[in-house]
Amino acid sequence: MAKIPGPRWHVPCGRTVIVIPRTSLFTLTRLRGYATVLAVCMWTIWVVDFSVDGPIDRLGKVKGTDFLHFYVTGSLAHEGRWEQLYDARAQYERASVVAPASPDTVFVPVESPQMSLLFAPLAVHRYAVALAMWLAVIIVLYAGCCVMMWRLCRELGEHRYLVVASCLAFPGLYSVVLHGQLSCLGLACVTSALIALRRGWTLTAGLALGLLVFKPHWAVAAGAVFFAAREWRVVAGTVLGAVAQLALTSVVVGSHVMAAYARALRSLPRIAALLEPQPGDSLRSFFKLLVPSEPVALALYGASALATMLVASRIWRSRAPLEIRYAAIVLAMILISPHVGAYDLVLLAPVYFLLANWLARSGHTSHRAVLTGLLCASFIAPICGGLPPLIRIQLSVSAMAALVILLWRIVNEDERSARLLPATSHVGVLDQPFA
């Protein structure tokens, strides 16, 4: 039996254990400790901040921040005031009534009409009650997605405490809860698509991704990645799902509301700075931050987005393990999306499950430390909003881009090695399923 150089954990026969050097910052014991401390600190701060009566927290901000906008649009939908759905002044006046002591009551009305329909039932309740109900929905969606991914990743069954602690400690979830955002709906769509792909239901996977059209840039990003990967049934399903959702919404709210929504979308290039006052976590924000010339930054974003799609396509169409292929697709979706907030990084949750499962099963050790470090960097990115943008964006965009490149390198190395093996061994290694 070949010896593993250096002091490492003992691997008993018949068991799967993640092999990391004892001297590493990322041993299993330390990872459990990091996750526990992070979860306790984050949620203690949140509880203390929210433990005051009324819609305003201890810091003087409205609880749920972005949820206030959803609550207002939901109340307009509930009352049938569709003409005010894209009236910024009318929404400001209504938000000021809900949270009169908060300065965070000015929102640019660009949300899709289907979101106002979603929140209309919550708007019949007081703001605090509606927020509590929405946060419960967020937790249920997130927990359901994590459970579904965990069931697919069998190698993580022996690491229950670490998995649960990491799910609770994920700053992406914390950011979604803090802002009362919609990103867990997107997570549910992406998770459903991955499960459908795992079962060979490509059209169903596309339909799930098409439901992302409530945030149009996510549906476009998903469609673009699978178009580059030449998965035509997934692309067709994405288009069908998006068209069906928009058509059903149009039937309910009327064509005049959909026309107003289209005008709001066309105005996005002019008001982009208002929607993203701080750099986000996408390639577009990365180059916008680094390059002073906007046309040059836009050109670099386009070129890097195209390169990202091509690399993800190369990984997807390889014979690499499914975990690597699926993780590359999700990473590419996030990177090429033009608008990514800290709360949107909750979409990385499936990536952590997939790559952790691969690390637990794989004997691949050459890039293990780098891969673990990049996963940890992107893991904490959503909570680093207080850092200077130039530093924070390295933990998110640079780490995600490096992950895609590293996965591409692993795929290439495995294929070169496989060409030296007998054909039967080649198929057995590269096509090994993860569930």
CA distance 23 to 201: 44
Q: Is the model's pLDDT at 83 over the cut of 90?
A: no
pLDDT in tens, 263-316: 888 887 777 766 666 778 889 988 988 888 889 999 999 999 999 999 999 999
DSSP string, 139-173: HHHHHHHHHHHHHH-GGGGG-HHHHHHHHHH-HHH
Confidence of residue 396 (pLDDT cuts 50, 70, 90): confident
Angle separating helix axes 171-179 and 28-50, nearest 10 degrees: 10
Region of poorest pLDDT, from 11-25, 72-86, 393-407, 413-427:
11-25
Task: Encode pLDDT of 237-268 as tens digits.
Answer: 999 999 999 999 999 988 899 998 888 888 87
* Residue 338 pLDDT exceeds 70: yes
What residue type is assigned to position 44 of the chain?
T
Q: How far apart are CA 218 and CA 222, in angstroms?
A: 6
Q: Terminal CA-to-CA distance of the chain, rounded, Å?
A: 28
pLDDT in tens, 175-206: 999 999 999 999 999 999 999 999 999 999 99
Q: Is the pLDDT confidence value at 392 over 90?
A: no
> What proportion of the chain, given as a percentage, has pLDDT over 90?
48
Tally of CB atoms within 10 A around 402: 17
Tell me what pLDDT residue 12 has: 43
Residue 143 in any domain: the answer is yes
Band of pLDDT at residue 26, cut at 50, 70 and 90: low
Residue 10 predicted with pLDDT over 50:
no
Q: Is the pLDDT of residue 151 over 60?
A: yes
Cβ atoms of residues 180 and 74 within 8 Å: no
Question: Residue 25: its pLDDT value, please?
Answer: 63
Residue 169: HSE in the Cβ half-sphere, 13 Å Cα cutoff: 21
Q: Could you tell me if residue 10 is inside a domain?
A: no
Residue type, 157: G
* Tokens 């549906």, residue located: 219
Say whether pLDDT at 210 is over 60.
yes
Let me know if residue 100 belongs to a domain.
no
Whole-number Å distance between alpha carbons of 141 and 186: 10
pLDDT digit string, tens, across residues 343-387 = 999 999 999 999 999 988 876 667 888 888 889 888 888 887 777
The per-residue pLDDT for 301 is: 93
Residue 78: inside a domain, yes or no? no
The answer to whether the CB of 331 falls within 8 A of the CB of 272 is: no
| CB contact set of 158 (below 8 Å; sequence gap of 6+) | 15, 16, 17
Which of residues 52 and 268 earns the better pLDDT score? Answer: 52
Q: Is the pLDDT assigned to residue 73 strictly greater than 50?
A: yes
Q: How confident is the model at residue 120 (pLDDT cuts 50, 70, 90)?
A: very high
Boundaries of domain holding 234: 28-51+125-267+278-430
95 in a structural domain: no
Domains contained in the chain, number: 1
Judge whether 110 lies within some domain.
no
Q: Does the CA dihedral 138-140-142-143 come out positive or negative?
A: positive
**C-alpha span between 223 and 217 (Å, rounded):** 10
Domain assignment present for residue 239? The answer is yes
Q: Tell me, what's the pLDDT at 421?
A: 62
Check pLDDT > 90 for residue 134: yes
To 10 degrees, what angle do helices 171-179 and 160-169 make?
Answer: 40
Identify whether 101 is part of a domain. Answer: no
